[in-house]
Structure 1
Amino acid sequence: MRFIPSFARLGATMLILAILALLRPGGALAQEALQPLLQEYQAEIAKPSRSTVDGVLAALLAADLPGTAEFLLRWQDRGVYERTEDGLFFFAEEAGNGLRLIDLDSGAAVADVTSREVNQIRPNSGVRSVIAAALVPYELNAPAPERRAAALDAIARSSEASQIAPLRKSIETESDPGLKQRKERLLTLLTAQFATALPYRLAAIEGLAGDTSIEARSVLNQLTARVPGVGMVAPEGANIARVLEVGVDISTVEAYDRLVAAKLAPPRQSATDRRDVLAQHIVDGAVGGVPLHQLNTDAARTRAYEVLEAAGTVPPRAAEDEVARAVATHVFYEVYSEPTSEVTTAAEAALAATSRALGLYQTLDLVLDGLSLASIFFLAAIGLAITFGVMGVINMAHGEFIMMGAYTGYVVQLFIPDYTISLIIALPLAFVVTFGAGVAMERLVIRHLYTRPLETLLATFGISIALQQLAKNIFGTQARPLTAPDWLSGALTLNDIVSISNIRVAIFVLALIFLALLLFILKRTRLGLEVRAVTQNPGMAASMGIDPDRINMLTFGLGSGIAGIAGVAIGLYAQVTSEMGANYIVQSFMTVVVGGVGNVWGTLAGASMIGFLQKGIEWFNPSNTLAAQTYMVLFVILFIQFRPKGIVALKGRAAGD
């Protein structure tokens, strides 16, 4: 029995040796080293191509060794070097005039070499895109949020079924709420496209119902894509979308063209085609045995062609009756590219819900655009409505007061670089400048022409041209920037369809402020009382101690000052040029005439009607805004034929005439 202790000692020795072997530092490294695996694909890695990179990536991803993601990143970014003497791969960093090689597995510096001793591996763009796709599972869990976001972008650009599992797994450990939401949404899109379990796929498709984003609509459109088909009977087992009825869903000509494309029927032949073919087969003054002088009827030409067709000289052709028979004996249909009928049914229902939501959001976007345009027209026209309503003066230079206000804002920004402060200063300063210009214009020109409206129009038109030329002489012909503050940049975005710029929102708010301010002035102040008195009956107002001349001056200045503030607001998004006022003078007059002269509420109603109608016309023909403006002018002409006093009837000087 002495062999038993000996056997025990031998077993203990072997166990100790095995443990020591496992604990040896190089043992684990040998089993988990990346370099040996790379050497198996040395040639493919050193000179990668689209035809070889897939095999290398498959081996690396299957092995899942430590450092794989880092190697792929460096390989993609051309940061991997091959040492020419032994073909080993390294990372490298600059060291003086050469490079310092870094071991792939340990991260330790190996040696300093010159650029001649190594070859930098430079994969082309195609290889880099394949590597980037393979990196997605690693990048989804990268420590930097930017890398995780880039991985999601890569999945969105090139979606595959294999991305579902790593994406679902990464959601559990995602700490960023925004990225987690993106991952969950992207998982829904991938599940709807590629999931093998039908219940999960149907649930994902139902989750996309009403989603108006481009990504969701793209997925639903792919699932409901149809391919045209034709045959003697509809194919059994196919996911047929619909059977087309000839003459209703498809014309006879289109149906026969499908037969020709499917090589189920010979091509149709027109009379011209038949004549050309016959001309090519004239033999001894005849075609197919029919003399040329007899080929003056359709029946004779048909008989000649049939002879050539029977002899095999010309290709067979389809006559009209043959076309009808061929179409009648075939079934024309559309089949879904997606073979599962439950999927396409759910996708069609989701797409219908999305179409309804899309129409609703498009209507909302159109309404917001109409409100925005109406607020711009209101700001541009309210000053003109005041001067025109109280004084009866057709001021053709009103657009130039808008231009003066915009240039005032530009000059203020030259001296005050802070755009917020400069805007706060520019608004009241523009009012002061244009108020003064309006008062000067009224005192020097308008007051002498009150009883001569045609001469007033011509005079203000001349002043308009003079102000434009003066602006060109001072500021030049190039557009000048009027920059909005940062808090006005960007847009309020509800989804991919509904959005409105912050500047337009600010203009809308400014229009509401002016509406409230003007109503307060006209209804609650002495100046407003006097203005309304002069508007309704200037003679009676003068007999009550009100100076109509002074009221006219203040009113004209007030209207001009409001135009200046409107110019600052408009200049924040439009080009500030000497001609910018001319772009709004026509709309301003249309707004005043349609709304009702001299009434704030009428101006608001006119601006709303003009703005919404113009946007509605542009919606039908979005590529031609000039046509929309032309139709608007025609509408105004027709409108004033039926309601010459505008939406809100004038209660002004006509009462005193």
Structure 2
Amino acid sequence: MSRLLSLALALWLTVPVAVAAQSLQDILQIHQEEVLKPGRRSVGVVLDDLVASGLPQALPFLEAWRDREIVKRDSDGLFFRASEDGDMVTLMDLDTGENLGPANAAGLTESRPNGGVRRAIGDALVQFQLSDPDIEKRLTAVQAIARSMDASQLAPLSASIEGESDRDLKATKTRLAGMLGALFADTQEARIAAIEALAGDLSVDVRAVLSTVLSTSSSVAPTVPDGTNLAQTLDVGTDISAVEAYQQLVDADLAPALITKAAIREALVANIQGGLVAGIPVATLDTDEARAGAYDALAAGGIAAPRVTDAQQAEAIAAHTFFLAYDETDVAITDAARAAQRAIETSVAVSQGIDLGLDALSLASIYFLAAIGLAITFGVMGVINMAHGEFIMMGAYTGFVVQQFVPDYTLSIIIALPLAFAITFGAGVLMERLVIRHLYHRPLETLLATFGISIALQQLAKNIFGTQARPLTSPEWLDGALVFNDVVAISYIRIAIFVLALIFLALILFVLKRTRLGLEVRAVTQNPGMAASMGINPDRINMLTFGLGSGIAGIAGVAIGLYAKVTSEMGADYIVQSFMTVVVGGVGNVWGTLAGASLIGFLQKGIEWLNPSNTLAAQTYMILFIILFIQFRPKGIVALKGRAAAD
């Protein structure tokens, strides 16, 4: 019988306190002193029992304890949550949450945990919140773990993954547990597995974790000590300067410190006797060499420490090995981290190339939209229209005005696109009828006239809309970006502009290839005289063509306005690139315009990537390249065929 009692007593003693306890108050009474006067070392026992209890009321207690709202009633030693109510204090039962009414503050003792204890309580709170029914609290807990990256959070985080109901949050927990495992897992195998699992993740925080695993410290020794996880042997003169190497020897107490000029001066001043230092007149010590000689005389007499010569420094450096050692001592873990880091760096380089290509493609689509109207007018009519950028500006302002009356941004854009075409088409026809038609075959006069019109249109826009930039707001479904990974992303607005460019390409090709107007335009482009003899009115075609090119510029203005601010000068930002696109691609050719826009877009982004700090230089280099390109291919990438090509 006594053996059975002893066995029962032993089993009871091995049961955790929290399991034996029936309520939160029971646990607090067991740890009464630790709750009332918690210390950084003693608080862990209380927190372990609270976490093990699984009591739902433990979470609000921890929050109140952290916020210094827990008090003990002196009469019976029970703990309550307190809130001030004037001169009185209102108590709340910790197990039931019942309001017990006011109490005299004189009979209460407040628990006041210090900063270290409150941090420990916060860690325990995170463990509770990881499985809280409220997803916002679970998300907050995960974010707190991500900020602290503490080894103590790995086990509770891993335990909460299986029961996580939200798919996205579960993936976040799994990823975070992998990063913590790479840093703090208990076994070598677990850490290596976690590191290998990170190899496909390009995010900055994963790269930071691998960098932490591969962190190094600079060391020096006669030879590399056995057991050192060597990262790199440093070559003096290449990886580290001789001055830095010798200073490292001094810091490691492996070589005497260098005597500085200040120390030489102090030693000389301290040993002046009768106007002499070591028998040398003070008046002659007016150079560094003279002072160094006097100091050497003092050192020879044993009065000062001898200077270290250059030869001695070189000898000391040659006698030691300088190296970087991994802070992580396990070679297998650092090997796995290096392999994962190399894989990530390769993926990042590929992703950066893809991202640069997407940016270039987006810029090319913007240039294509801006230039396609100019390609039609310049190619068919040979008119250098310096006011083309202002038609882009007119289209953008049309979109802005429409949005002032139509608050639905999607509907306003749908209305603005055809309206911008109609307004700029009409403006283009009016300009052709009043000005351009009188200046055919007079390129200099046409250039000057259209340049004057562009200035007038800019000033008119300033008078109407002011000089302040006006926003052309995109619909909500164009907000944000399409994110492929932490490196590759493209905004939905750029995607929309690219799609619009493709639609315009298909539409213009259809008009030119499948309609009577297109046939007549191509005929006039190839040979105006022959087209006129076949019954085509070149004057009418020129008018419609100029209006069509202007209308397309207006639609391009709406698209560009969604991407950039709408100002009276916005057209000037695209007129140079538009002319370059048309000339490089090939005058009067839609495919040439597409090729020219692609070449200029990719070229500009490539130059900006090589010289990211100077966008003006990128523009300059691009213009120089195009000048050289035209020297070798004056008719552009896609040269015009037919008799007109020989003109």
Distance 1:317 1:637, change over 3 A: farther
C-alpha distance 655-223 of structure 1, shift in aligned 2 (>3 A): closer
CA deviation vs aligned residue, 1:571-590 (integer Å, no higher than 9, x gap):
11211111111111121122
Identify the range of structure 1 (118-127 vs 306-315) with the bigger mean alpha-carbon deviation.
Answer: 118-127
Flag structure 1 segments of 5+ consecutive residues without an equivalent: 1-26, 46-51
Report the AA paired with residue 46 of structure 2.
A
Structure 1 partner of 2:47: 60
1:62 to 1:124, Cα distance in 2 relative to 1, 3 A: closer
Aligned counterpart, 1:146 = 136
* Aligned counterpart for 2:398 among listed residues 408, 422, 425: 408
Report how far residue 73 of structure 1 moved. 2.6
How far 1:250 sits from its partner (Å)? 3.2
The number of aligned residues is 623
1:560 corresponds to which of 541, 547, 550: 550
Equivalent of 1:317 in 307, 312, 315: 307
SS of corresponding position for 2:91: strand
Aligned-partner Cα distance in 1 for 2:394–2:115: 54
Partner of 1:467: 457
Aligned pairs (5 A) from 1:2-151? 33-36=26-29, 39-41=32-34, 43-44=36-37, 52=39, 55-56=42-43, 58-64=45-51, 65=53, 66=55, 67-76=57-66, 78=67, 80=69, 82=71, 89-91=79-81, 101-112=91-102, 130-151=120-141
Give the equivalent residue in structure 2 for 1:367. Answer: 357
Q: CA deviation at 1:623?
A: 2.9
1:193 partnered with 2:183 = yes
Aligned match of 2:323: 333
SS of the residue 2:396 aligns to? helix
Unaligned runs of 5+ in 2: 1-19
Letter in 2 for 1:219: V
Q: Measured at CA, do residues 314 and 44 of structure 1 come closer, stay the same or move farther in structure 2, by a change above 3 Å?
A: same
Partner of 2:10: none
Instruction: State the secondary structure of the residue aligned to 1:572.
Output: helix
Whole-angstrom distance in 2 between the partners of 1:368 and 1:31: 59
Matched, 1:644 2:634: yes
1:170-209 map, 5 Å? 170-209=160-199
Q: Distance in 2 between matches of 1:388 and 1:195?
A: 68
Aligned counterpart, 1:577: 567
Question: What letter matches 1:517 in structure 2?
Answer: L
Corresponding residue number in structure 1 for 2:431:
441
> 1:376·1:507 contact (CA, 8 Å) conserved in 2?
yes
Q: Please show how residues 348-427 of structure 1 align to structure 2 within 5 Å.
A: 348-427=338-417
CA offsets, 1:243-280, max 9 Å, x none? 2233443343332232234343345579x889968986
Q: What's the counterpart of residue 515 of structure 1?
A: 505
Q: Deviations over 1:548-605 (max 9, x none)?
A: 1111111111111111111111111211111111111121122112212221111111
Counterparts of 1:553 and 1:90, CA distance in 2 = 88
- Measured at CA, do residues 81 and 494 of structure 1 come closer, stay the same or move farther in structure 2, by a change above 3 Å? same
Structure 2 counterpart of 1:546: 536
Q: Tell me how far 1:290 sits from its aligned partner.
A: 5.2
Give 1:256's aligned amino acid. Y
Within 2, Cα distance between the matches of 1:283 and 1:265? 32
Matches of 1:541 and 1:148, distance apart in 2: 75
CA shift in 2, pair 1:405/1:53, >3 Å: farther
**Residue 318 to residue 481, structure 1, CA distance change in 2 (3 Å):** same
Secondary structure, in 3 states, of the residue corresponding to 1:394? coil
Give, in whole Å, the separation in 1 of the partners of 2:456 and 2:142.
59
CA distance in 2, matches of 1:137, 1:625: 50
Q: Are positions 1:428 and 2:418 aligned together?
A: yes
CA deviation profile, 1:339-387 (whole Å, cap 9, x unmatched): 1111001111111111111111111111111111111111111111111
The match for 2:206 among 194, 210, 216 is: 216
Q: Partners in 1 of 2:243 and 2:142 — Cα distance?
A: 48
Q: Give the drift of 1:71.
A: 1.1
Cα distance 1:285–1:538, how it changes in 2: closer, same or farther (>3 A)?
Answer: farther
- Whole-angstrom CA distance in 2 between matches of 1:98 and 1:554: 87
Task: State the Cα distance separating 1:202 from its structure 2 match.
Answer: 1.1
Distance 2:403 2:45 in 1: 60
**Partners in 1 of 2:257 and 2:626 — Cα distance?**
55
- Residues 476-487 of structure 1 aligned to structure 2 (within 5 Å): 476-487=466-477
Whether 1:238 and 2:223 are equivalent positions in the alignment is no
Q: Confirm whether residue 528 of structure 1 aligns to residue 511 of structure 2.
A: no
Question: Deviations for 1:527-550, whole angstroms, at most 9, x for unmatched residues?
Answer: 111111111211121111111111
**Is 2:252 aligned against 1:262?**
yes
Q: Which amino acid aligns with 2:571?
A: G
Contact 2:72/2:110, CA 8 A, preserved across alignment: no
Deviation at 1:286, TM superposition (A): 6.1
Matches of 1:30 and 1:645, distance apart in 2: 89
Closer/same/farther in 2, CA of residues 40 and 274 from structure 1, 3 Å limit? closer
Mapped to 2, the partners of 1:119 and 1:457 lie a distance apart of: 90
Q: How far apart are 1:42 and its partner, in Å?
A: 5.5
Tell me which moved more, 55-64 or 585-594.
Answer: 55-64
- CA gap of 1:298–1:135, structure 2 versus 1, over 3 A, is closer
Report if aligned partners of 1:596, 1:648 keep a CA contact under 8 Å in 2. Answer: yes
Cα deviation, residue 54, structure 1: 6.2
2:243 pairs with one of 242, 247, 253 = 253
User: Closer, same or farther in 2 for the Cα pair 1:465/1:36, shift >3 Å?
Assistant: same
Report if the CA contact (8 A) 1:640-1:646 is conserved.
yes
Counterpart residue number, 1:19: none
Answer whether contact 2:479 2:491 (CA < 8 A) is retained: yes
- Say if 1:220 and 1:347, in contact at 8 Å, map to a contact too: yes
**Per-residue displacement from partner, 1:17-70 (whole Å, max 9, x unpaired)?**
xxxxxxxxxx9757853553574245547xxxxxx4664354233344432222
Change (3 A) 1:595 1:306: same
> Among 519, 534, 537, which residue is 2:527 paired with?
537
Amino acid across the alignment from 2:33: E
Q: Which residue matches 2:597?
A: 607
Q: Is 375-384 or 243-252 further displaced after alignment?
A: 243-252
How far apart are residue 166 of structure 1 and its match?
1.5
Between 1:116-125 and 1:533-542, the stretch displaced more is 116-125
Alpha-carbon spacing, 1:31–1:84, altered in 2? closer, same or farther (3 Å): closer
The 8 Å contact of residues 389 and 652 in structure 1, kept in 2 or not, is answered as: no
Distance 2:380 2:496 in 1: 29
Q: Verify the 8 A CA contact 2:68 2:113 in the aligned structure 1.
A: no
One-letter amino acid of the structure 2 residue matched with residue 335 of structure 1 = A
Q: Aligned in 2, Cα 1:175/1:278: closer, same or farther, shift over 3 Å? A: closer
Instruction: State the Cα distance separating 1:509 from its structure 2 match.
Output: 0.6
**Aligned-pair CA distance for 1:292:** 7.9
Q: What is the DSSP-based 3-state SS (H/G/I as helix, E as strand, rest coil) of the residue aligned with 1:173?
A: coil
Q: TM-score, structure 1 length as denominator?
A: 0.87
Contact map agreement 1:468 1:578 (CA 8 A) in 2: yes
Q: When the two structures are superposed, what TM-score results if normalisation uses the length of structure 2?
A: 0.88
Of the structure 1 ranges 395-404 and 635-644, higher mean CA displacement relative to structure 2 is found in 635-644
User: Do the aligned partners of residues 70 and 453 (structure 1) sit closer, same or farther apart at CA in structure 2, a change above 3 Å counting?
Assistant: same
- Distance in structure 1 (CA, Å) of the matches to 2:531 and 2:309: 90
Distance of 1:115 and 1:510 partners within structure 2: 72
Residue identity in the other structure for 1:228: S
What amino acid is aligned across from residue 138 of structure 1 in structure 2? F
Question: 1:314: Cα distance to partner?
Answer: 4.9
1:102/1:110 contact within 8 Å kept: yes
* Structure 1 residues 276 and 603: alpha-carbon distance in aligned structure 2, compared to 1, 3 A threshold: farther
Distance in 2 between the 1:187 and 1:472 partners? 58
